[in-house]
Amino acid sequence: MNYWPESGEQKEFGALRWVAIRVRKRQGELFADGSEHKYLAVMTNLWEWKAKTLLEWHREKAGTIEAIHDILKNELAAGVLPCGRLGANAAWLRMSILTHNLVTALKRMALPEEYSAARPKRLRFLIFNTAGRIIHHARRVVCRITAQGWRQWLDLMPLPAS
């Protein structure tokens, strides 16, 4: 069955497909509301996939948004908004999300496989803080690069294909 959203925003993408399943209770009072059946639905614009494949993919994603929310809130400062103004808070949240996206791209494209599940705090202490140290001395600002810092990471990174 096709579903067209009531607002005109999504109509240029075409109709959405929805796949629904019915879960029957097998024993006693399984559902808290006392109903005989429970219905679950997935709405998508993926028309090529079979219903079983779509439902399996959707179940695999369960819990991922909560993990991302935890990272944004606790490690990328999205949980502490800077002020009471909506525009400034929106910009702060967008910067946190951009930072998360950049860290994710860095993990997938540039870092070794062992860092694919590393959280931003771990990457900060392993990579960003070990590359060098900013020193203010004699009215000058100097970046002192450590021996194990970026040189070690540059040796691990693959060279771009030419």
Which pLDDT tens digit goes with each residue over 115-158? 888 899 888 877 766 667 778 888 888 877 766 655 565 565 55
Range(s) of the domain holding residue 12: 2-60
pLDDT at position 74? 92
Residue at a domain's end among 14, 41, 60: 60
pLDDT at position 60? 77
pTM over 0.85: no
Cα–Cα distance, 115 to 112 (Å, whole number): 6
3-class SS at 83?
A: coil
Q: Which two tokens stand for residue 51?
A: 């219903």
Contacts 24+ apart (CB under 8 A), 46-51: 46/17, 47/17, 51/19
Domain count, the chain: 2
Q: Any idea which residue has 């900060």 for tokens? A: 124
Contacts of residue 100, defined as CB under 8 A and 6 or more positions apart, other chains included, come to 68, 71, 72, 76, 120
Domain check: are 30 and 97 in the same one?
no
Domain check: are 72 and 144 in the same one?
yes
Residue at a domain's end among 36, 60, 84: 60
Please tell me the least confidently modeled range out of 19-33, 88-102, 104-118. 19-33
| More reliable by pLDDT, 161 or 104 | 104
